[in-house]
Structure 1
Amino acid sequence: MGLMLATFSLVAHAQNIPQLGQATIAEVVKAMTLEEKVHLLIGTGMDGIINDQPVIGETKNIVPGAAGTTYAIPRLGIPAVVLADGPAGVRISPKRENDTATYYCTHFPIATSLASTWNTELVQSVGQAIGNEALEYGVDILLAPALNIQRYPLCGRNFEYYSEDPVVSGNMATAYVKGVQNNGVGVSVKHFAANNQESNRTGNDARVSQRALREIYLKGFETVIKNAAPWTVMTSYNLLNGIYTSENGELLTDLLRQEWGFKGLVMSDWFGGKNAVRQMQAGNDMLQPGTEKQYNDIISAVKKGELDEKIIDRNVSNVLGMIVRTPHFKKYAYSNHPDLKSHADIARQAGQEGMVLLENRNNTLPLSQTSVHKIALLGSASYSLTPGGSGSGDVHSAYMVSLAEGLKNAGYEIDAETEQLYGKHIEELDEKYQDSLKQIKKLMFMSQPAPSEITMSQEILNRLSNETDIAILTVGRKSGEGKDCIPSDFNLSVDERQLIENTCRTFHAANKKVLVLLNVGNVIETASWKDLPDAILLAWECGQEMGNSIVDVLSGKVSPSGKLTMTFPVKLEDIPSTTNFPMGEHQIDNPTDDSSGFGKNWDYTDYEEDIYVGYRYFDTFKKDVSYPFGYGLSYTTFTYSSPRIVDNGRNYNVSINVTNIGDKAGKEIVQLYVSSPLNPAYEKPQRELKAFSKTRMLQPGETEAISMIIPHEALASFNQDISAWQTDKGIYSFLFGSSSRDIRLTKELRIGKQNTVPVGNILRPKTQISVFSK
């Protein structure tokens, strides 16, 4: 390939053919044939995908296992560039034919775990490490981060998303993007927009009010576009108010480019959208992974005069603008040897900080150094930890530290008989799964189900309560791309509940404690059983160093400092969107045209809860929750003091003092909520998160002054009756909280004049939505 490119370059130079990087992009576009332009606007195909349309292309697999490549045009100096999946790490093939080397990548914590750190500096360091691996493995664009809103706990892809709140999502994505792009590698923020369910994701119409779109589902994207300048944006599979997002000019041109000022490339999700011509017109510059039909349709439309070639030229210019920034264009000599050891250390720290301590009665944690040595490790998930979700968010890592390994690494002893019992059970399940794969055609992204629970006899529990010092019991769940969860994934199974009840009863009778670990990527039910164990640690799915990260927290090596970025409801039915989410009738996504006909929540989903997503609903309507948004315990205690607000003319500079009054070092997360004055023209939530900040590690007695910046426009609500952002006059309460329901201090601010900023009246629903209201 290198010799061929060099030869073409010499010939081109002799003929004065414009070369990308030497001539202007406009000159290169002018020199291209129509066929070359259209090839550049679609990908070169994707191996291993079963689809009803053949893929096309000549570009070789530069990086095996990458999601896609762009089309090379050597005569114009245009190389192919590589796109790879990667919210939790770069996803490429770890082994290659006729090659003894390995190409493993670091499996970092899932996005939900990263967000639970509330530490943007740490998330940026994770992005920096992932971007470095992309660079050194020859990847130009990382297809991440994903920042859709966690609208409902059963969305199968929630583990890839950050939060139910757009401020958390936008700030975390901004940090991630900055980290990756510091390496000279681009990202593709996704899935733009309102991709909040997997069921029929390629055919579902998300019907959302303009206000809910602006305030909830688009706000995080707006934040990252304006603050991190991502190279590319990926459109989602679904329709939005009747139009596929990749075919929606109001979304991609009017909003994204003209209103927000986005200057980069827009690409489709893989096989996303239906009409290639409308995608070109809307401003979806590149279609991935590329099909013969798309190529033919675009060529035909131009030749028939149905598609102006100026639109093709515009889109090609955006593609070339992305290519000239890439490592491949700059001929970066990638090493294939990133520093996986140092990146594993970052993954371990991120896993620690994302864990949320939900319960800790009688100082069960950290584990006593004098009285806890031998551990009864129970629950199938304890011996089969899940480091991340399946699908494009998965990572091929060299190893995963098990919980047993993590405990042993820290000097703890595990009951050997129990370990053997569970080991045999897991091995048998693995063999059955492998046998089942021989009987069926393996689907892309298909993953092994979570192991079933085994019945633990009272005799065994009695022995364990006598011979061990504490019981650690893990509840695990698996989820992944292409399929939503169902209510049974949210609730404990009969066997899981029985194991928790029997273990707690037996160990408590022996005056010993029980700890429950949650190895999950989604919210699960906790209200009915959380009073049984002595402690509950939400470990999430925190990557390849998971066993070590968990034990670092259990042992007290680090104090837990994670907090929830979503609400844990008492039960599913308490969530107002329950009646507007697929609940298991038709779970598998079907990309073909015959997937319609199931109606509500399959062909279309009405977002009737409107702006009342997560804590905005529960706090406004004063509904009981199991754990509120922003909640998380620590091994120490913090107090807040001296709140201050200074108006500098464009922003509000807000600060507060945080003091560690406990006897252990720890970090605290200050959450700044704002309650706005009421307006009879439209409703407002009781409070909304506007900023947050995490302290450094504070020693006992130490104080840190925390500062946050709130732009004036952040206090505005969207008035869809006049299509404008409106900041109402009146008294605003700035609420400094440790969670949305633990407000420590309040400072008031009076705004004497209403401010209205009109924006385009776009993205209106085409059918009436009966939105939820007070």
Structure 2
Amino acid sequence: MNMKLKTMLLGLSVMTALSAFAQKPVYLDTGKPIEERVKDALNRMTLEEKVKMIHAQSKFSSAGVPRLGIPEVWATDGPHGIRPEVLWDEWDQAGWTNDSCIAYPALTCLSATWNPEMSHLYGKSIGEEARYRKKDILLGPGVNIYRTPLNGRNFEYMGEDPYLSATMVVPYIKGVQENGVAACVKHYALNNQEFNRHTTNVQLSDRALYEIYLPAFKAAVQEGGTWSIMGSYNLYQGQHACHNKRLLKDILRDEWGFDGVVVSDWGGVHNTEQAIRNGMDLEFGSWTNGLSAGTRNAYDNYYLAFPYLKLIKEGKVGTKELDEKVINILRLIFRTSMDPYKPFGSLGSPEHGQAGRKIAEEGIVLLQNKNNVLPVDLNKTKKIAVIGENAIKMMTVGGGSSSLKVKYEISPLDGLKNRVGSQAEVVYARGYVGDPTGEYNGVKTGQDLKDDRSEDELLAEALQVAKDADYVIFFGGLNKSNHQDCEDSDRASLGLPYAQDRVISELAKVNKKLIVVNISGNAVAMPWVNDVPAIVQGWFLGSEAGTALASVLVGDTNPSGKLPFTFPAKLEDVGAHKLGEYPGNKEELAKSKHRGDTINETYHEDIFVGYRWADKEKIKPLFPFGHGLSYTTFVYGKPSADKKTMTADDTISFTVNVKNTGTREGQEVVQLYISDKKSSLPRPVKELKAFQKVRLAPGEEKEVTLTVDKKALSFFDDGKHEWVAEPGKFEAVIGSSSRDIRGIVSFELK
């Protein structure tokens, strides 16, 4: 080919390209508002293309429209890190070598920071990892309420209080979505147990629904602006939550104005017509029909796939709902993958590791510290005895869909050794054998924790190591195995597994400087609480677990975490168990012969969940909601209000001085609870309505101001179906926990 012809052809190709660019579809024009782009794209799609968009095409993706340049939607499990890649049509690992992530602390730990700044840091960091991995939807965070300490999935949620959960979820969402990744808040709604999670039909009052179980979801929509929400497995009012008209249409869309995508939990859809009409947008699942085993790669058989297309072609349903679903998905696509200004993200960076460590350190809770055993004084220490399987066991693998393949994980034992260095000898004894395995969905820890010694042999070794140590640190609690802190199963009891109570009790007899670190996402019974001087709630802390724990234990970091849920002394001190309905109606459970039988469960405790129940029944908890100690001390002044009366369209501010009277810097969480002194409906003794975390140097004093409005004084009236603030007398109860009250201010609502 001569040069002249080459030049002419090149010119033609350039002109063709420029012409094509000039005639680009309106939906690609980033200068146009998103709604115009959505409408234009929708008008160009065929019926078949629309139906393909609303159901999965692989384990974690749904189809785009290649003909129009509309990309696929890719989701990934969170909420504590970015799940490793699996095969297109199977749960087995894809075998990538570049999909290892940073594991962040479990959400119970995040909530325990009582610090919205930590929540934003968490969301921003995990969002950057999701964006780098080219994910459009992060399946998290979770905000289901902690109704019972037996729920295997509590570690993924933010505790028992609707106000705390609502406050902490909003910055997480904003941090994630700043990266052009949609947060998918889950599991909407009333998914408060894992036992019979597909067949439990929840029955409760509207008052409990609106006051306890919905506020965090509402805040996620109206304050956080979440771009997606995941339906839950359970039923409500006899209808599965993933196609529940009351939840998805009446409340989510009509009352709250949600304009994002409703994603099904995997296999959460059970009925085509209900999914069409009741607000489900995007169906994901595991097998042929989204739930049970079936033919490989049979996504066309999903409820919102060929069955839907067939109904349309037979004239049995119209396309109005289909267009609504596609519009929602297109809107999400333009907000995420087709946003030309989205950042690139980053994966496994040192900054992300440090973010995880910072959140972990701030969320660790010092539960008990008799005789100031903590922090460990390395200047006077020659030997530290570390006991317990949880000192060495990796906790990032297992637990269900939150299981991760991490770039690294520092164990508590290694973290302590790294920090102590040559200052003291650190010796280890197993103490107990729990779950020696280390694999979930093909991700392997590489640890071999098998130990055939008897319980007595393990105990004898632990006591021998402990008796002459300057400090004994027992790392125990739960793990991510079935019937512990794990998806798809609830715990068998409140007690510690693997005979740990015996080991702890015996260690307390041979060494008076015993520290118990409870690694869990749940409350546990502590029959030895009076015999152990120091107890630390260590959570599941992710990649930097050992570093963060060591920092708190030796005093580099002053603990400032507060409990986001109540530690009951015994299971009968929990309303859901005292009133006898968990895990469902006893007669129905006894008669049930098939796994798919629906079991009704009534929330008899109603609005009295967590500390609300303990206050009402005058029960002394093991450790109360909001509790957490420090290595310094704080003194509160007398609180005051800026006025004695307020009106319905007004606010009232409460001020209290807080002083650090100790010798080191620390942080305190000032908590404000509202008490309604006289109401036409039963109300809790008090309810959390404001809080602020304040940092103080030794001797420093700061003024803390907390403001509330009519909303903080209101209850939900079932009969009127509206929020009501009744005129009358109220109290602002200010404390360091729900039971450590430092001052009360009376005021009146006119």
Does 2:230 correspond to 1:217? no
The answer to whether residue 45 in structure 2 is matched with residue 32 in structure 1 is yes
Q: Give the match for residue 182 of structure 1.
A: 178
Question: How much has 1:99 moved relative to structure 2?
Answer: 8.6
Aligned twin of 2:674:
674
Matching residue's letter, 2:219: T
Partners of 1:559 and 1:634 within 8 A in 2 = yes
1:498 aligns with 2:519: no
Distance 1:638 1:418, change over 3 A: closer
Q: 1:708 to 1:226 in 2, by over 3 A?
A: farther
Aligned equivalent of 1:83: 75
1: CA distance, partners of 2:514 / 2:426: 19
Measure the CA separation in 1 of the matches of 2:531 and 2:719: 50
Write out aligned runs for 1:240-259 (5 A).
Answer: 240-259=236-255
Whether 1:483 and 2:488 are equivalent positions in the alignment is yes
State how far apart, in whole Å, the 1-side matches of 2:62 and 2:240 are. Answer: 23
Pairwise CA distance, 1:131: 0.6
Q: Deviations over 1:634-690 (max 9, x none)?
A: 11111222534446944333433221111121000011100013224x211110111
Equivalent-residue separation in structure 1 for 2:283 and 2:169 (angstroms): 23
Partner of 1:759: none
CA contact 1:109–1:542 (8 Å) conserved in 2: yes
Contact 1:376 1:472 in 2 (8 A): yes
Indicate if the aligned counterparts of 1:386 and 1:476 stay in contact, CA closer than 8 A: no
1:104 matched to 2:136: no
Q: Which residue of 1 aligns with 2:4?
A: none
The answer for the alignment partner of 1:556 in structure 2 is 555
Hey, what's the Cα distance between the residues in 1 that align with 2:413 and 2:235? 45
Aligned-residue offset at 1:692: 1.2
Would the aligned equivalents of 1:651 and 1:710 in 2 still touch at CA under 8 Å? yes
Deviations 1:180-234 (A, max 9, x none): 1122221111111001111121221111111100000011111221111001111
**CA distance in 2 between partners of 1:476 and 1:623 (Å):** 24
Q: Residue 486 of structure 1 contacts residue 584 of structure 1 at CA under 8 Å; is this kept in 2?
A: no
Provide the residue aligned with 1:473 in structure 2.
Answer: 474
2-side partners of 1:476 and 1:583: how far apart? 27
**Alpha carbons 2:242, 2:264 under 8 Å: kept:** yes
Go from structure 1 to structure 2 and tell me whether the alpha carbon gap of 1:538 and 1:505 turns closer, same or farther (over 3 Å shift).
same
- Of residues 554-563 and 409-418 in structure 1, the stretch that sits farther from structure 2 once superposed is 409-418
TM-score in terms of structure 2 length:
0.86
Name the residue aligned to 2:430.
422
In 2, Cα distance between the equivalents of 1:141 and 1:538?
A: 31
Aligned amino acid, residue 312 of structure 2: V
3-state DSSP of counterpart to 2:561:
coil
Corresponding letter in the other structure for 1:25? V
Q: Is residue 180–residue 339 contact of structure 2 (8 Å, CA) maintained in 1?
A: no
Alpha-carbon distance change, 459 to 243 in structure 1, aligned in 2, over 3 angstroms: closer
What residue identity is the alignment partner of 1:735?
V
Match of 1:52 in 2: none
- Contact 1:388–1:541 (CA under 8 A) maintained in structure 2: no
CA–CA separation in structure 1 for the residues paired with 2:611 and 2:165: 15
Contact 1:392 1:481 in 2 (8 A): no
Alignment-derived partner of residue 567 in structure 1? 566
Q: Secondary structure at the match of 1:546?
A: helix
Cα shift at 1:616: 0.4
Q: In the TM superposition, what are the counterparts of 1:169-208 in structure 2 within 5 Å?
A: 169-208=165-204
Deviates more, 1:561-570 or 1:68-77: 68-77
Q: Residue by residue, what CA displacement relative to the aligned partner does 1:148-177 show, whole Å, maximum 9, x if unpaired? A: 001100001000011111011111111211
Supply the distance in 2 between the matched residues of 1:677 and 1:458 (Cα, whole angstroms): 53
User: Does 1:685 find its partner at 2:695?
Assistant: no
Q: SS at 1:376's partner residue?
A: strand
Tell me the alpha carbon deviations over residues 696-732 of structure 1, each in whole angstroms, 9 at most, x when there is no partner: 2x11111222233323222110111222211111111
Which residue of 2 is the match for residue 50 of structure 1?
A: none
1:205 aligned counterpart, secondary structure: strand
* Residue 240 of structure 1, CA deviation: 0.9
Q: For structure 1, which segment, 324-333 or 217-226, has the greater mean C-alpha deviation from structure 2 after superposition?
A: 324-333
Counterpart in the other structure of 2:663 = 663
Q: Is the contact between residue 114 and residue 354 of structure 1 (CA under 8 Å) also seen in structure 2? A: yes
The answer to whether the Cα contact below 8 Å between 1:450 and 1:476 also exists between their aligned partners in 2 is no
1:403 and 2:407 are equivalent in the alignment: no
Q: Which residue of structure 1 lines up, in the alignment, with residue 538 of structure 2?
A: 539
Question: Quick one: which amino acid aligns to residue 624 of structure 2?
Answer: P
Q: In 2, distance between residues paired with 1:91 and 1:443? A: 11
* Cα distance in 2 for residues equivalent to 1:212 and 1:569: 21
Measure the CA separation in 2 of the matches of 1:458 and 1:122.
40
Displacement of 1:330: 3.3
Q: How is 1:683-722 mapped onto 2 (pairs within 5 angstroms)?
A: 683-696=682-695, 698-722=696-720
Paired residues of 1:277 and 1:297 also in contact (CA < 8 A): no
Identity score, percent = 34
Consecutive unaligned residues of structure 1, counting only runs of 5 or more, are 1-5, 47-67, 753-774
Partner of 1:324: 334
Distance 1:652 1:38, change over 3 A: farther
Partner residue, 2:521? 521
CA contact (8 A) 2:179 2:342 kept: no
Q: 3-state SS of the aligned residue for 2:190?
A: coil
**Is 1:312 aligned to residue 327 of structure 2?**
no
Deviations 1:238-265 (A, max 9, x none): 1112111222222212211221122212
Alignment pair present for 1:20 and 2:27: yes
Letter in 2 for 1:306: K
What's the CA shift string for 1:274-316, capped at 9, x where partnerless?
Answer: 1133112111111124732221111122223332211111111
Q: Distance in 1 between matches of 2:80 and 2:140?
A: 9
Secondary structure class of the residue paired with 1:739: coil
Whether the 8 Å contact between 1:104 and 1:397 is mirrored in structure 2 is yes
Q: Which one-letter code corresponds to 2:575 in the other structure?
A: P
Aligned mates of 1:272, 1:252 — CA distance in 2: 14
Q: How far 1:630 sits from its partner (Å)?
A: 0.7
What residue in structure 2 maps to residue 352 of structure 1? 361
Matched length? 697
Q: What is the DSSP-based 3-state SS (H/G/I as helix, E as strand, rest coil) of the residue aligned with 1:381?
A: helix
- Partner SS state of residue 370, structure 1: helix
Alignment partner, residue 307 of structure 2: 297
* Structure 1: distance between partners of 2:607 and 2:599: 22
**Aligned partners of 2:478 and 2:496 also within 8 Å:** no
What is the aligned counterpart of 2:350 among 316, 328, 341? 341
Counterpart for residue 228 of structure 1 = 224
Alpha-carbon offset, residue 378 of structure 1: 1.1
Match of 1:124 among 114, 120, 124: 120
Equivalent-residue separation in structure 1 for 2:342 and 2:748 (angstroms): 55
Q: CA deviation at 1:368?
A: 1.3
Distance 1:18 1:364 in 2: 69
AA paired with 1:470? Y
Deviations 1:401-455 (A, max 9, x none): 1122111111257998963x639x87x974xx48xx9xxxx87999999989943
The question of 1:375 aligning with 2:384 is answered yes
Cα–Cα, structure 1 residues 10 and 550, in superposed 2: closer, same or farther, change >3 Å?
Answer: same
Distance 1:310 1:247, change over 3 A: same
The alpha-carbon distance between structure 1 residues 583 and 30, as it changes in their structure 2 partners (threshold 3 A), is closer
2:731 pairs with one of 725, 730, 733: 733
- For residues 626 and 672 of structure 2, the distance between their equivalents in structure 1, rounded to whole angstroms, comes to 11
In structure 2, give the amino acid aligned to 1:496: Q
Task: State the Cα distance separating 1:383 from its structure 2 match.
Answer: 2.4
SS of the residue corresponding to residue 733 of structure 1 reads strand
Q: What letter is aligned with 1:199?
A: F
Q: Say whether the 8 Å CA contact 2:93–2:443 is kept in structure 1.
A: no
Q: Distance in 2 between matches of 1:90 and 1:694?
A: 29
Distance 1:612 1:422 in 2: 41
- Structure 2: 5+ residue runs without aligned partners? 1-12, 30-35, 291-298
Opposite residue 386 of structure 1, the aligned amino acid is: M
